[in-house]
């Protein structure tokens, strides 16, 4: 929260964009202290109506469904039938994406008659870039 207070009090920014639910509580605590600072919170909401805050929520599953269709088609174009995702943390936002992605793959199967194998692995972190792709860890 100290960073958010520092940025908000500087007066340098027309808009501070915060991405993810980790910013919900800090924004809820300080938005009223800085009424002239505008904030955008993406993929979460403080559930408070303020003139200096906009909360932007997306339907991740809809975008993911399109990706699932495209990736399933790409797998077949490349001579395969398996699609996979290595995702970060096991959280509701990614569950929505997971479900949409699987829906897209199944939609591809129904429309083309081509079966698609689907693999999904959560790594448990957004920070570890050294994932063992055999285990997902």
Q: What is the pLDDT of residues 89-122, one digit of tens each?
A: 888 778 888 999 999 999 999 999 999 999 988 8
Report pLDDT digits (tens) over 15-52.
Answer: 999 998 889 999 999 999 999 999 999 988 999 999 99
Q: What is the pTM of this model?
A: 0.61
pLDDT for res 131: 53
Confidence band for 134, pLDDT divided at 50, 70 and 90:
low
Residues 136, 121: contact at Cβ < 8 Å? yes
Residue found by looking up tokens 């399933």 in the block: 72
Q: What is the DSSP letter of 32?
A: G
Rg of the Cα atoms in the chain? 20
As a whole number of angstroms, the distance between CA 53 and CA 101 comes to 31
Report whether pLDDT(136) > 80: no
């Amino acid at each position: 929260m100290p960073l958010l207070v520092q940025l908000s009090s500087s007066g340098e920014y027309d808009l501070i964009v915060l991405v993810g639910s980790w910013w919900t509580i800090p924004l809820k605590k300080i938005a009223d202290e800085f009424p002239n600072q505008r904030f955008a919170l993406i993929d979460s909401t403080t559930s408070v109506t303020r003139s200096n805050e906009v909360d932007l929520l997306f339907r991740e599953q809809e975008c993911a469904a399109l990706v699932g269709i495209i990736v399933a088609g790409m797998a077949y174009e490349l001579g395969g039938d398996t699609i996979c995702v290595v995702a970060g943390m096991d959280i509701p936002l990614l569950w929505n994406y997971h479900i949409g992605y699987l829906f897209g793959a199944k939609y591809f199967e129904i429309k083309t008659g081509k079966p698609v194998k689907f693999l999904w692995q959560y790594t448990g972190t957004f920070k570890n870039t050294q994932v063992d792709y055999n285990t997902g860890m």
